[in-house]
Amino acid sequence: MLKVLLTDDEVFVRKGLMELIPWEEMKFIVVGEANNGKEALEMIEDLEPDLVITDIRMPLVDGLDLIRSVKENTQLDPVFIIISGYNDFKYAQQALRYGVHDYIMKPIDEEEITAALRKLTYSIGERKKALLSGDKQAGNPILEALMQGALNRKEAEQYSSMLGMPEGASMMYVLVDVYAAPQEQLADMRTFQEALHSLEEQRGDIPVIELQPGKFGLLLNVDWMHNRAGGIGPFLERLRTALSRRLSVDIGIYAGNSVDHVAELRRSFLEASEAARHKYAERGVIWYAKINNRPLYVFDISPDISNKLILQLEEGSREAYRQTAEGMFRLFREQRFTPQAVTGSLSRCITGIIAVIKEMDGSEEEVRRLKELAEREHGNWSLQLLEEHFMLALAEAEEYIALLRQEWSRSSIKQIKNYIDAHYSENISLKCIAARFYMNALYLGRLFRKNYGVYFNEYVLELRVKEAKKLLRQTDLRMYEIAARVGFQNADYFVTQFEKLEKRSPTEYRNMLNIKE
């Protein structure tokens, strides 16, 4: 992937470019956005983009000054495309003097800028310059042009010669995934090439292209592999083992068929890309020739499975939800799910779990692994790595849901106690309160005693007797009137309960007060 930096002081222009252009389709990735030339200069030094698309007239440092500063003051040499709302020949002339690749007028036309980017992708001059620079990644743009298949046979042969491929050699395209956990740094080009050279010292440089972090493309000379490396198959197996050992991670290798002419390399690339879609269904080196007629499952898992998993997790049934999740991953492999189908299936589960958390007034920020799974691309994950991380995310979510349930219980029981304190003089019962708060009466009774150290009925009786004593002290109401006011429908029962708690009758309590006076 070629890295792109967008520079314009108008944010809607930058966002428009983001939406307007199919960046990934053309093998670009936007790595940053700058609001002015000064900010762009700092980001260029930090991000080292391959392409900078910039406006001319900006605050602090304008586009031309930005280009001049990069050319004169850094060792970097990104390609520049200028976009401008001013049709000024002097600007355009100066821009061309600085070697600007293209000068595009606003409002930006989608076809025009797309054509400019395609022209940039296949720019022979840039590729030759990169090759002659001695940079380890010099072959990248040339190999990318061959992969795109936009060259005639003569041009393709020239490019092949630049890559050191003998004329008439059979070749094949191979994709390599360096799997890495989220917290691990993905292998960069230098690390990958060091690992590659540790295996093929006698071969010299194998042309390599870095498609994106942790994902690489290789151009292999089939004839050399057969004559000097014991065949393509053994070589790729050794390559996988060596890379895995050197980088301390799992490696995925996907091989297209060999082609007889470099101009046909795109076909091998497309075949390798198709083989990569089987990464969760096969093990080891995956050959297009072996999976060509094997169908893939492209849909999400059944909602019944994801709903079952979510329910088991919400209930805290650890063994049950782990078995369901393990069954999902077996299904992914046995039914040959595509990477996109696996991602979609997991997203269905993650979305449902996060919805449960939000319903319980929780925050998705507290389930870091789930949030990470939902937001990250999984291109550099093996199925085993994905399963391990998903299981850890489920365990984290289970703990958080249990915590939310405890907090909810504490909050709910407090609300229930407040309700009892306000309505104890009414005809209330544990059953009717449980129904009011959508709880099981037995569970509510246990929860109340756990939090307040007393049974529900005892607590209500204490409230009623306390209020009755107050009325006995402050009024001359009759016993049946006091009983009715504090929630007893039967005066005799009121007397019995009062005696049970106070060890004296209501009359004795009142008389005791009169004696003291």
Render 259-291 in DSSP notation, one character per residue.
BSSGGGHHHHHHHHHHHHTTTTT--SEEEHHHH
CB 401 within 8 Å of CB 310: no
The whole-number pLDDT of residue 17 equals 83
Q: Are 217 and 147 in contact (CB under 8 A)?
A: yes
Is 414 inside a domain boundary?
no
Q: What is the token pair recorded at 495?
A: 């007397």
To the nearest 10 degrees (0 to 180), the angle between helices 383-423 and 441-452 is: 80
Task: With CA atoms as reference, report the closest residue to 174 among 197, 206, 130.
Answer: 206
Domain end: 241, 259, 291, which one? Answer: 291
What pLDDT is attached to residue 377?
A: 67
The structure tokens listed for 153 are: 């046979």
Orientation of helix 383-423 relative to helix 318-334, angle to 10°: 150
Domain boundary among 99, 121, 143: 121
CB atoms within 10 A of CB 14: 18
Radius of gyration for the chain, computed over Cα atoms and rounded to the nearest angstrom: 36
Residue numbers of the domain that contains 452:
424-516
196 shares a domain with 172: yes
In a domain, 367, yes or no: yes
Q: Are residues 37 and 99 in the same domain?
A: yes
Tell me the one-letter amino acid at 200. Answer: E
Residues 307 and 256 in one domain: no
176 shares its domain with 275: yes
Among residues 291, 311, 343, which one ends one of the domains?
291
Query: 386 and 431 share a domain?
Result: no
Same domain, 398 and 437: no
Does 132 fall in a domain? no
Is there a contact between 95 and 88 (Cβ–Cβ < 8 Å)?
no
Neighbours of 315 (CB within 10 A): 12
Q: Do the domain assignments include residue 146? A: no
Residues, the chain = 517
Residues 205 and 269 in one domain: yes
| CATH number of residue 207's parent domain | 3.30.70.270
What are the average pLDDT values for consecutive 10-residue runs of the chain, which has 517 residues?
A: 83 81 82 85 85 79 79 76 68 60 74 73 47 43 64 68 74 88 64 73 66 84 78 86 83 92 85 92 91 90 93 92 96 92 89 87 82 72 89 92 81 86 91 86 85 91 94 92 92 93 92 70
Measure Cα distances from 265 to 6, 24, 152, 236, 262 in Å. Answer: 32, 20, 12, 18, 5
Burial 409-431 (b: 16+ CB within 10 A, else e): eeeebeebeeebeeebeeebebe
| Model pLDDT, residue 440 | 82
Verify that 320 and 227 share a domain, yes or no: no
Number of domains in the chain: 4
Q: Are residues 340 and 384 in the same domain?
A: yes
**Are 101 and 41 found together in one domain?**
yes
**50 part of a folded domain:** yes
What dihedral do alpha carbons 178, 180, 186, 190 form, nearest 10°? -40
In a domain, 154, yes or no: no
Residue 87 lies in a domain: yes
Q: 287 and 309: one domain?
A: no
Question: Is the pTM for the entire model greater than 0.75?
Answer: no
Residue 241 and residue 172 share a domain: yes
Distances (CA, A) of 232 to 39, 169, 220, 314, 425: 48, 14, 9, 50, 88
